[in-house]
Amino acid sequence: MSRTPLDVAALRPALLAPTGPLGAVDVVDAVASTHTEMVARARAGAVASAVLVAEHQRAGRGRAGRTWQTPPRAALTASYLLRPHVPAGSLGWLPLLAGLAVVRTLGPGGVRARLKWPNDVLLPAHEAVEGLGRYRKVAGVLAEVVPDGGAGDGPGVVLGVGLNVDQAAEELPVPTATSLRLVGGAGLDRGELLVALTGELFATLARWEAAGGDAEAAGLAGEYAEVSATLGTRVRVEPAGGGDAVVGEALRVADDGALVLATADGERVVTAGDVHHLRREE
């Protein structure tokens, strides 16, 4: 299948300072994982406010060590190196806010996305599937704190976003995934999506930083809740690292980005884990 490559010459003026928010833009034909590569660059002292984009990702990194592949030029796979000026205890909100930026990026194109805590972007589907209900995953977010590699401005965060854009059904890795093409978004330009996503991401982070990392004070916690497919629903959370699953109603996101559940034994706080949306009778 013939797909159009990213126009790097057009991207750089739109994304690089002073017109855009970035200090570096790098587009490569293929890489095992943009996230792994950007982590290595961060540890080597790369400057912040940079993005690495791959036309083809052979072994992308997902949460909990999962891997996934994307066909050449079919997805938007980008990893940003950021150094948010917020308290370390607030960084759990970063992947949630990145998900919010993805939702806002898709909205003007008529795509009504929702968020599943902590890092999945969902689109509505006609048929229900276990764990997602009437949704399918169109994008994922991964954030990793990286110690100062010599740049002199403290630890950074590598934030990866993988967005399925032009995949046909048979090109998706699992039946619970979808793409913008499959929901009527055929023809969406990956370059335009990258520019829009970068703008939304940095505008969101600026509000967060201005509020000292307090998502509630910035108004972002409320905006996140409005597009959450998890909050207000009954869920089962399988904690990261193992342990007994927690079942209850997802009440809110805490100040550190953790999920607060109402369970039969009272409120429980989950900092990391896999969320499964349940039917009311489960």
Q: pLDDT tens digits for 172-188?
A: 988 899 999 999 876 68
263 & 202 share domain:
no
pLDDT the model gives residue 152: 56
pLDDT the model gives residue 186: 63
CA-to-CA distance for 186 and 135, rounded, in angstroms? Answer: 19
pLDDT the model gives residue 47: 82
Q: Is residue 187 part of a domain?
A: yes
Sort strands 50-57 and 24-31 into parallel, antiparallel or unpaired: parallel
User: In terms of pTM, does the model score above 0.75?
Assistant: yes
pLDDT the model gives residue 64: 47
95 & 28 share domain:
yes
261 & 237 share domain:
yes
Q: Is residue 50 part of a domain?
A: yes
Structural domain tally of the chain?
2
Q: Is residue 62 part of a domain?
A: yes
CA-to-CA distance for 93 and 87, rounded, in angstroms? Answer: 11
Domain that holds residue 255: 231-277
Angle, CA 122 vertex, CA 117 and CA 126 arms, to 5°: 130
- Residue where one domain finishes, among candidates 208, 225, 242: 225
Q: Is residue 272 part of a domain?
A: yes
Q: What is the mean pLDDT of the chain?
A: 90
204 & 235 share domain:
no
pLDDT-derived band at 28, boundaries 50, 70, 90: very high
- The residue count of the chain comes to 282
pLDDT-derived band at 151, boundaries 50, 70, 90: low
197 & 81 share domain:
yes
Q: pLDDT tens digits for 60-87?
A: 555 545 556 678 999 999 999 999 999 9
The residue-averaged pLDDT of 37-61 equals 87
Q: Is residue 49 part of a domain?
A: yes
Looking up residue 252, the CATH number of its domain turns out to be 2.30.30.100
pLDDT the model gives residue 59: 65
218 & 241 share domain:
no
Sequence-distant (6+) residues with CB within 8 A of 242 are none
pLDDT the model gives residue 60: 54
203 & 246 share domain:
no
- Residue where one domain finishes, among candidates 184, 205, 225: 225
182 & 217 share domain:
yes
Q: Which amino acid is at 103?
A: V
168 & 76 share domain:
yes
pLDDT the model gives residue 66: 55
Q: Is residue 1 part of a domain?
A: no
15 & 54 share domain:
yes
- Residue where one domain finishes, among candidates 183, 209, 225: 225
127 & 207 share domain:
yes
Angle, CA 151 vertex, CA 150 and CA 157 arms, to 5°: 100
153 & 272 share domain:
no
C-beta of residue 119 within 8 angstroms of C-beta of residue 137: no
Instruction: Identify which of 130, 106, 90 has the alpha carbon closest to the alpha carbon of residue 257.
Output: 90
- Indicate the SS3 state at residue 190: helix
Looking up residue 19, the CATH number of its domain turns out to be 3.30.930.10
Q: Is residue 2 part of a domain?
A: no
